[in-house]
A and B are shown apart, each in its own frame.
Chain A
């Protein structure tokens, strides 16, 4: 079955995520961070952050709810049983700190077929409560056996 391309260019409603200090700590411990700025507000402020910052890859936490929207959209028709996460990119802007409210908009950047595999490329753009861009993600999902 060939890939559906009708969703290319489609974007989805923004999804908000409110960043908490203990959630940052939980994530930072799970990925093995040891820098005290992720755990200690005073250490964070001494390093020049507004509050405890999130590690860069915390971007997956605040953009997860948003990227789920194209993933379950019937117009995209992603076959989860044959899905692998092929690649990921983030470009970071303003740091994300505890107390921030991050709003993320996902869109379908491209859908194409190559060598019997479907490539579904989603983009997420995350901004903070002041309208500053904090992260831009490119999520490459590969579905085997599309043709």
Chain B
């Protein structure tokens, strides 16, 4: 089982994700506000990036969302729109039909999600 997913969030993605999720924190959607609080630009929602990790894991298990039983992540560096994100992971162990995956997400050389542990039970 190989976990790999590449995705480039477009400029307006954080606006769509804000609407879809209900998280309208201005650091994600207002460039002026983000710069005022010392960020280089608006940043991606960490939970959107986590959803990319979830998607990579479900795809690796064959695409059935019921196969994802548990997902644990740590948020590290900030993610930005308009730059490619790569999720990679590998099987750490397999026991009783459960596949444990270790993974991470990186963007432009920065790890934005670390210490991912996923439990998959392929359907």
Minimal beta-carbon separation of B48 from chain A (angstroms):
6
Q: Are A91 and B70 in touch, CB under 8 angstroms?
A: yes
Residue of A nearest to B71 (CB): A90
Is A29 at the interface (CB under 8 A from chain B)?
A: yes
Given contacts A31-B48, A55-B54, contact A92 B69 (CB under 8 A): yes
Minimal beta-carbon separation of B19 from chain A (angstroms):
7
Q: Are A90 and B46 in touch, CB under 8 angstroms?
A: no
Q: Are B69 and A57 in touch, CB under 8 angstroms?
A: no
Interface size class of A (residues with CB under 8 A): 20 to 34
The distance in angstroms between the C-alpha atoms of A73 and B75, with both chains bound, is: 24
> Which chain B residues in 26-75 approach chain A with CB under 8 Å?
46-48, 50-52, 54-55, 58, 63-66, 68-75
Q: Are B51 and A31 in touch, CB under 8 angstroms?
A: yes
The distance in angstroms between the C-alpha atoms of A7 and B1, with both chains bound, is: 43
Given contacts A35-B63, A56-B65, A88-B47, contact A30 B17 (CB under 8 A): yes
Contact of B69 (CB < 8 Å), options: A27, A29, A33, A91: A91
Q: Are B55 and A27 in touch, CB under 8 angstroms?
A: no
The distance in angstroms between the C-alpha atoms of A60 and B49, with both chains bound, is: 13
The distance in angstroms between the C-alpha atoms of A56 and B72, with both chains bound, is: 13
Is A72 at the interface (CB under 8 A from chain B)?
A: no
Given contacts A26-B19, A27-B20, contact A56 B68 (CB under 8 A): yes
Given contacts A91-B69, A92-B68, A92-B69, contact A32 B74 (CB under 8 A): no
Is A12 at the interface (CB under 8 A from chain B)?
A: no
Minimal beta-carbon separation of B28 from chain A (angstroms):
12
Chain A residues near B63 (CB, 8 Å)? 35
Is B7 at the interface (CB under 8 A from chain A)?
A: yes
Q: Are B75 and A60 in touch, CB under 8 angstroms?
A: no
Contact of A86 (CB < 8 Å), options: B47, B64, B66, B74: B74
Pairs A–B under 8 Å by Cβ, sample size 23: A30-B17, A30-B19, A30-B20, A30-B21, A31-B55, A32-B7, A35-B65, A37-B65, A55-B54, A55-B65, A56-B58, A57-B47, A60-B21, A64-B21, A84-B75, A85-B46, A85-B75, A87-B75, A88-B46, A88-B73, A88-B75, A91-B69, A92-B70
Chain A positions near chain B (C-beta within 8 angstroms): 23, 26-27, 29-33, 35, 37, 47, 53, 55-57, 60-61, 64, 84-92, 95, 138
